[in-house]
Structure 1
Amino acid sequence: MPKLTIQNQNFIDPSGKQVRFWGVDLVEFYPDHATAAAFAKNLAARGVNLVRWHKMLMSEDNNNYLNTQGGKTPIESLATYGYDSNGFPQGTSRAYPSGADARAWDRFDFLNAELQRNGIYLMMSIEFGRTFTPADQAIYSVNSSDDANWRNAISAMNNWGNYLFNIDTGGYAGTGSTYGNGYWQNTFDKWKFLPAIDERSARLYEEFVGTLLTHVNPYSALAYGQNTQVATMEVVNESSSYYLFANAHHFDGLVNSDGGVVPFPPSLGAIIYFNNEIQSAWYAFSGQSRTNLYQAVNGSSTRQQQAIAFLTGLDQKFIQRMKQKIASLGYAINLSFSNLWRSEDDARLDHDLSSHSDNHTYMDPFVVEGFTRSDSQRHRYASEGVSEGVLNDFVYEVSSQKAFVDRPQMIGEVNMLDWYDPANTANDTMHRSMMMVATAAYGSLHNWSSFAWYSATQGGNLYIDDSNVVLGMGADGWGVKEAEEFPLTRDPDSASDNYNNYLGWLWQDGQKLDHMRTAGLIFRNGMIAPSTSPITIYVDAPYSPDGTNDAGQWPPKAKYLPKPGWADISAIRKAYGTVPGTQASAKYMTTLPTNPLVSDTGQIIKDVARQQLTVSSPQAEAFSGNFDRNAPAGLKVLRFPTTNTNKFATVILASNDGAPLASSRNVLVSRTYIDIATKADQAGPKMTLAGLQKAGANQQWQVRYTRPRANYANPAFAPAPLDSTGAPTFTGTAVWTEAELQLVTTSAGAAVQVSSSPTE
């Protein structure tokens, strides 16, 4: 595969061409060889050219039922932790590709080779969701006492995740509904932190870097470190040391709902070993011992800045250590530290030490609606108020956080928010196809380098509901059940939750898959122009927090925020340095733009009043939103009758031969159509491709319908239905969601199909 280099904001191939990635996440996925080969081909067929591997060192064998063929047990991860029935690891987190873990690595290797065969790059990780086991102590011995204390601390850490603690009563229990730091979600980030402070943990990470990068994939005959298929690598997922401590993650006890620290019970007391490491390093750094690190992080401004400097310093040393390890192996990898907004200080660290920026975004899919709900998780800047909140969207979020003016911006996880709320989820799932238009359009406007949809599949589980398999990967490399409407069924983990939209099962979401190829074609090939008047926001020290930066709130806002809405007009990037005197008074910092929001290229129109998003460029057009009785703004090729009312639709049209639509002889179109009242999927919408060139003498427009797969297993070209002007037109009577059209030369004298009442 072509080796990619980084030049300013872009990934560049050897010919000098910019490369963008349209990808998916794969989570704990170890398919057999036949399934892997089929799946890789299917990814490429949907326009995917990037896979981000995730959680491949997380031991969750319940996610890998696909691997039980031949009576074999499920695969845990790339390492065999060997958890017993009580949840304690009997093995090690150290991976042995040619030994105990050979079966997992064989499947990992084979799928990667198949991905490479299909032109798909990889995003790798150093952390991969890893935890440690007492047996890992063998990586480094200090003395018998310290070795034993470390093993006991790790054993307690593993117990911590299973130990329930009621934050309201401050008591310990085996069961409960309200948990504090005893719940695994509140302990997992602590595992990610350990290599920044603990020598054994850091050595374990170094060892895995060597294991992964020097491992020769037998199916490609290349070590991963020398294989140009590996486009990037992340150090850690969604974490930072400052983030951990600012969110009251303690190693000296459990935090109750009042912020007080409750001492560990005896079974967790050994964790104090890591607390002693932390406080010892903090005291050496700060030169004083009266204020511990937990107090300093939330203390006075001066003490807090000192704590931030200490914690970001830990991360800096750890990142440099990982970079030095990679360099010592003779490899050069595009490396990023972490991949989520945590703070301005963390963003600055990421900028200085990473080759590119990576962020994650989970959005309100109805981007023309904006963030008007009060739920703080819906948007980190929702406190702007309704007037500004209406213009908040994922574009504003990503562009305001860590999109740097001199680095590629990657989005390593993208999808809609998972509400687990009946009213919101029903609306959001109806609108989810708008995400495909919005990411392709605004990702192009901002010149972002990648979107990886979370996720194509999570392991190979086969969830059962009423004796029917509803989730899982089939032997043909497709989801076992593909549906236009979600939810497919209830959440298998909760009988009372009927609104799970299965973010981790993209490969079964028919509606997203319908538009995956067309949207990816637009984004990867730059069919929508980048911003002509980009904005640079300059940021100076101190970075965070300060009096205007939501001190004490998490996550903190970026230090300088443009007004919402401007990111829908112009690309916005961040630079560190002296702030120009004119920045504070610039219109994008002081004034809300007016509706409709038209990009500076003129190619994207977001109308929050009509709740419509339209795209029109020479090579592509798209519409997503609610139909009203007026024609959508800005479209030149796509035509919709004004009778398409009370419906939500997404239609994407893209040139498939690289020519402008007006002269293209091969185009791809996808469409989905939903009744707003019933939220039921319907055939349609009715539309005409009025701007395509007309068939001349001895020419004919032909069409083949390619989706849904169940309806069109063996698609073949046939004459396209035309209106009286000779334009391809579709009445909405046939249930197709993707079609390819081609203009072909026919034999002399062949009739050109024209109908005043065409049918599909």
Structure 2
Amino acid sequence: MNKINYLSIIVLVGFLSSCQLQTHQLFKKEVITKAESINTINTDSWSFEPQRDTYDKNSLLDLRYLNEKIAGETGFIRLSPSGEDFVKGNGESIRFWAVNSYVWRKSYQQLEDNARFLAKRGVNMVRWHGQIVDENDNKTLKNIDKKARQQLWQYVAAMKKEGIYLTLSPYYAHALKPQENWQLPHDSKNFSGLLFFDPDLQKAYKNWLKELLIPVNPYTGIPLKDEAAIAIIQLQNEDSLLFWTFKNIQGRDLELLTNQYRDWLINKYGSLEQVIKVWQGVSLKGENIKEGQLKFYEMWHLTQPENPNSGKGKRLADQTQFLTETMYNFNQEIKRFLREEIGAKQLINAGNWKTADPIKLNDAERYSYTATEVIGVNRYYNGGIHQGKHSGWAIINGDKFTNRSILFDPYSFPLNLKQVANHPIIIPESSWVPPLGYQSESPFLVSIFQSLTGIDGFYWFAMKEPQWRQPSSANGYLPSLGKWVINTPELLGNFPAAALMYRQNYIKEGETVITENRKLTELWNRQIPIISETKSFDPNRDQDSQNGNTNIGNRIHPLAFLVGSVEVTYGNEKSNKILDLKKYINEKDKIIRSITGEITWNYKQGICLLNTAKAQGVTGFLKGVGEIKLEDTRIKSNNQYATVIVLSMDNKPIKASEKILIQVGTIARPTDWKQQAITWKDKQGNLQQGLKIIDYGKAPWRLENNDIDLIINNPKLTQAIILDSNGLAKQTIKLKSDHSQISLQFPANAKYVVLE
């Protein structure tokens, strides 16, 4: 999703399926009450104005050591024996803490700075999300953007030196603007869906890949196809024949796809006469099936229930199968092309998009990805609604939004994913998107649930600056705030502890709690799976009035995703395996417990706890719950909302560690930010309760003061060192201690404290 191309920027807003809406309504009033209580945090707050990081060797918080000296030094990233995880060239397991960075558009010196800045904060994977097609009017479609390739070459070289791997995303249909002299698309308004079936576009696409991957990178002396620092190649970004954009395929483009459908049907049934018989004479207005003139049902029909034994049911199944296999075959062919004709050795991810109906069509979409090694899906969280003139890419005065913490809405958690057996899964784009104020929870939650469920990469979106970003215009001149930003105090500022405990395996991976086996015919008939993911919403490409029917509940509790991993196998007739979830999900008290016993999420109180030997912490609305007692840590906070992580820095249990990091997050807003509680009607006429932005403020960031007391069961610790944003010591204070524990009041204006 090229959100730097502002006219096509996308905001993903979580929509709940009907089985989840009832639960949502139960706690909606409670969430709004908490949101309304925050008007401005400029009183009792501190100014976040970090010095430029010069990577002083005296920094006490530098995670560069977690990365390899040079990315790919032991060979290409490959799959584990199970096929479900990543390992390095030498077979050692590797976990990726990842970001999307657009700093590749800047100078090489800025790239080097960005690489070092990210490595220091625990990042070991970046995504290059570009457009390799040359969009110059004077060029033919076969030419690539050589400037973009030059920038990518520098990007690879800079990141590689800091032990950071890359994921390449070179093609985005939605952002590619047709040029008159290209002769493609023929009649469609844009490129949506064409790559899956148009031979001329596929020929051009293969040429782009050759021009991108085969030439020698002058900055490394290695062609990208042979570059072990590149871990994953994504074939395309956010496109599908099973999404609402299917309607954009028109004229000669649609005729081409329809003719392919005709040939597919003849191959499947032997003749068009037999097709008519199987379909029981069902036809669409204006077609002559006997003469080979067919039409497709509009996508809406694929989202509706239909008797699979009826003529229409059989026809809809054929259309679903054809569209899915068309995508699968494209993915399979490009994988073959990359391996055999180019010689690329990287893992391949086919796609990362969604469908018109997550219940009926998502499994078909994921099946089409299994032609390659890696499964992907882009999913964001933004607190509900952001409504405004430029809400796709900017925050301005007058915007309305709902400010719902995910801690009250676990159904919308972006990591609630059904994973495909024998394939790793990545989330190539995600974030907790402003104007949502509850952001400090996100690195903590991503870290612990990635660990629990075995999701293999979560890529935060996005950075445009080498280091921090202060509140500033979304496009450089509009009075506004940038929306798709992560290098802020309560997102990137909370990376170090989250990345460290995730990459060091401080949190156990849980066993699979749901194993679903699905016949392919179930996918074609769009039968209801035993569990499905929630909807997400795209205002640029979804159709409000044609969302799929969601008046169907899951047979398995949808919060199973937070107990352990949920897994599906396609083309398998084995029985499903379903763990009894009653002791892990308490609907009455709204409590979810992980199968490992290390994580507890109370979505009534808005609290999530982590309790392991080496990492302990909490995020949420702490003031309302009093003292929180963990295995070796007690936390008491007067902050209404905060995130506190206590973890070992020397890989020893907290009670025996000689070096402990305490990291705290609260709420960050620009200076002079003001918001007002309001009620309004949305575009669908529904009454919404939320907030209106009165003043989006200015630089610098201001963070709510910390008001937190801690007790840690480790009497060996004698001093606390307060760090600045670059990990340098600001002040040293003695700890209060007795024979069994130490205690301290966390500084009001700090994010990091190291105990020694």
Contact 2:378 2:428 in 1 (8 A): yes
- Taking a change above 3 Å as real, the CA distance of residues 28 and 192 of structure 1, as seen in their structure-2 partners, is farther
CA distance in 2, matches of 1:389, 1:611: 5
Q: After superposition, what is the alpha-carbon deviation per residue over 1:213-256, rounded to whole angstroms, capped at 9, x for unaligned?
A: 2132222211111111111111111221222xx5552333xxxx
Contact 2:415 2:446 in 1 (8 A): no
Please tell me the residue identity of whatever aligns with 2:659. Answer: N
SS at match of 1:19: coil
Match of 1:576 among 570, 595, 599: 570
- Taking a change above 3 Å as real, the CA distance of residues 633 and 729 of structure 1, as seen in their structure-2 partners, is closer
CA distance in 2, matches of 1:640, 1:663: 19
Alignment of 1:461-472 (within 5 A): none
Match of 1:620 in 2: 615
Alignment of 1:45-124 (within 5 A): 45-54=120-129, 56-57=130-131, 78-82=132-136, 89-95=137-143, 101=146, 103-124=147-168
- Taking a change above 3 Å as real, the CA distance of residues 313 and 570 of structure 1, as seen in their structure-2 partners, is closer
Aligned-residue offset at 1:92? 4.2
Aligned-residue offset at 1:334? 1.0
Alignment of 1:547-696 (within 5 A): 548=528, 554=547, 562-578=556-572, 593-594=587-588, 595-628=590-623, 630-631=625-626, 633=628, 635-641=630-636, 644-645=637-638, 647-674=640-667, 681-695=703-717
Aligned-residue offset at 1:80? 4.1
Higher relative contact order (CA 8 A, sep 6+): 2
Alignment of 1:337-356 (within 5 A): 337-342=350-355, 343-350=361-368, 352-356=370-374
CA distance in 2, matches of 1:682, 1:565: 32
Q: After superposition, what is the alpha-carbon deviation per residue over 1:706-742, rounded to whole angstroms, capped at 9, x for unaligned?
A: 32x5xx7x5367354435668554434441112333x
Match of 2:301 in 1: 298
Match of 1:404 in 2: 420
Q: TM-score, normalising length from structure 2?
A: 0.69
CA RMSD of aligned residues (A): 3.9
Match of 1:177 in 2: none
Runs of 5+ unmatched residues, structure 2: 1-71, 266-271, 273-288, 303-311, 356-360, 392-403, 536-544, 676-701
- Taking a change above 3 Å as real, the CA distance of residues 675 and 436 of structure 1, as seen in their structure-2 partners, is closer
Q: After superposition, what is the alpha-carbon deviation per residue over 1:466-495, rounded to whole angstroms, capped at 9, x for unaligned?
A: xxxxxxx2xxx213x43xxxxx35655997
CA distance in 1, matches of 2:618, 2:583: 30
Contact 1:400 1:574 in 2 (8 A): no
Tell me, yes or no, if structure 1 residue 416 matches structure 2 residue 432: yes
Match of 1:434 in 2: 441
Aligned-residue offset at 1:588? 7.0
Alignment of 1:247-258 (within 5 A): 247=245, 249-252=247-250
Contact 2:490 2:665 in 1 (8 A): yes
CA distance in 1, matches of 2:151, 2:366: 38
Tell me, yes or no, if structure 1 residue 359 matches structure 2 residue 377: yes
Match of 2:331 among 319, 322, 342: 319
- Taking a change above 3 Å as real, the CA distance of residues 352 and 559 of structure 1, as seen in their structure-2 partners, is farther
Match of 2:518 in 1: 539
Aligned-residue offset at 1:290? 5.0
Q: After superposition, what is the alpha-carbon deviation per residue over 1:652-684, rounded to whole angstroms, capped at 9, x for unaligned?
A: 222222222122222222112349999973221
Contact 1:195 1:201 in 2 (8 A): yes
Alignment of 1:471-490 (within 5 A): 473=465, 477-479=466-468, 481-482=469-470, 488=471
CA distance in 2, matches of 1:675, 1:26: 22
Match of 1:31 among 96, 103, 106: 106
Match of 2:320 in 1: 308
CA distance in 1, matches of 2:327, 2:629: 48
Contact 2:426 2:458 in 1 (8 A): yes
Match of 1:513 among 484, 492, 495: 492
Match of 1:262 in 2: none
SS at match of 2:98: strand
Match of 2:400 in 1: none
Contact 2:600 2:608 in 1 (8 A): yes
Runs of 5+ unmatched residues, structure 1: 58-77, 83-88, 138-149, 161-186, 253-271, 366-370, 378-385, 419-424, 458-472, 483-487, 744-760
Alignment of 1:112-191 (within 5 A): 112-128=156-172, 131=176, 150=183, 153=185, 160=189, 187=190, 191=191
Contact 1:128 1:237 in 2 (8 A): yes
Contact 1:648 1:673 in 2 (8 A): yes
Contact 2:513 2:578 in 1 (8 A): no
CA distance in 2, matches of 1:455, 1:575: 33
Aligned-residue offset at 1:433? 1.0
Contact 1:10 1:408 in 2 (8 A): yes
- Taking a change above 3 Å as real, the CA distance of residues 556 and 662 of structure 1, as seen in their structure-2 partners, is farther
SS at match of 1:530: coil
Match of 2:539 in 1: none
Report how many aligned residue pairs link the two structures: 581
Tell me, yes or no, if structure 1 residue 451 matches structure 2 residue 458: yes
Contact 1:673 1:685 in 2 (8 A): no
- Taking a change above 3 Å as real, the CA distance of residues 192 and 526 of structure 1, as seen in their structure-2 partners, is farther
Q: After superposition, what is the alpha-carbon deviation per residue over 1:180-205, rounded to whole angstroms, capped at 9, x for unaligned?
A: xxxxxxx4xxx142222222100111
Please tell me the residue identity of whatever aligns with 2:516. Answer: I
Aligned-residue offset at 1:603? 0.8
Please tell me the residue identity of whatever aligns with 1:214. Answer: I
- Taking a change above 3 Å as real, the CA distance of residues 201 and 580 of structure 1, as seen in their structure-2 partners, is closer
Contact 2:559 2:585 in 1 (8 A): no
CA distance in 2, matches of 1:133, 1:362: 28
SS at match of 2:724: strand
CA distance in 2, matches of 1:617, 1:356: 30
Contact 2:440 2:667 in 1 (8 A): no
Match of 1:41 among 108, 116, 124: 116
Match of 1:216 in 2: 216
- Taking a change above 3 Å as real, the CA distance of residues 555 and 34 of structure 1, as seen in their structure-2 partners, is farther
Please tell me the residue identity of whatever aligns with 1:416. Answer: W
Which stretch shifts more, 23-32 or 520-529? 23-32
